Amino acid sequence: MIELINVKKKFGEKEVLRGVNIKILKGETLVIIGPSGCGKSVMLKHIVGLMSPDEGEILIEGNDIVKMRESEVYKIRKKFGFQFQGSALFDSMTVEENVGLGLVENTNKTKSEIKEIVEEKLEIVGLPGIGKLMPADLSGGMKKRVALARSLAINPEYILYDEPTTGLDPIMSDAIDELIKELTNRLKVTSIVVTHDIFSVYDIADQVAMMHEGKVYFKGTPKVLVESDDEIIRLFLHRTNKNIDLV
């Protein structure tokens, strides 16, 4: 389980996280929504230890990473796969080298072992046989899948997605959503997804957390979210996608 307790973070005078409290259960898919600048991605980076809070606790399986030494946080971080919003592939490396980078840097596996793992993970994300291509040869959707294969290479227990469908057409967005669901079921991982895509919420979420003014304003199922009479929730959903038929 992951738990954030009264987590606060400021950048200069701007309060981004103003006391975040949330629990994420093992094996579930939590989707985090909210307006731009409300702290969604910042919260994600705190969970994986890429940022440290000004106040509060971040518990990973009962261990507070805020109080840990950097070397201890590094060990915890190995349990996480992180898909960055822009995929963050290295342009000078082949697909194969990008996917295997974490294994090269953090394990003693041989080249042949790494190659076998890379091929397996590319197969899982539906991109077999593209290891020798360069990122410049890939479409936006393919880049996101390669980035996901890189996250899977370390066999993570948790996968964090930052805007996985941003910039993709609806068909490719649906394909990415289906892939997230498939990986969650097949690999039994815990998934945390930050998105602006409300349709993704209905497609993949077990639980939804809505951020508002630096706090978790709502947490519940997609059904409870869409049926809510709360004015702030309804206004956000209508503005995000006016084609959604709210109950």
Architecture of the 1-79+157-247 domain: 3-Layer(aba) Sandwich (3.40)
Task: Give me 183's structure tokens.
Answer: 């990986």
- The average pLDDT across 75-104 equals 88
The tens digit of pLDDT for each residue in 121-130 reads 999 888 999 9
The whole-model pTM stands at 0.86
Buried b (16+ CB within 10 A) or exposed e, 182-198: ebbeeeebbbbbbbbbb
Do residues 5 and 21 make contact, with C-beta atoms less than 8 angstroms apart?
A: yes
What's the pLDDT score for residue 246?
A: 40
Whether 87 shows a pLDDT value over 50: the answer reads yes
- Residues 191-227 pLDDT 10s: 999 988 888 888 899 999 999 999 999 999 999 999 9
Residue 245: what pLDDT?
44
In the chain, which segments carry CATH 3.40.50.300? 1-79+157-247
Average pLDDT over residues 108-121: 93
Q: What is the pLDDT of residue 10?
A: 94
Distance CA 242, CA 240 (A): 7
Within 10 angstroms of residue 55's Cβ, the number of other Cβ atoms is: 13
d(CA 176, CA 171): 9
Task: Return mean pLDDT, the chain.
Answer: 89
- Band (242; pLDDT cuts 50, 70, 90): very low
The pLDDT of residue 117 is: 94
pLDDT tens-place string over residues 35-48: 887 889 899 999 98
pLDDT band for position 240 (50/70/90)?
A: low
| pLDDT computed for residue 180 by the predictor | 87
pLDDT of residue 239 exceeding 80, the answer is no
- Model pLDDT, residue 115: 94
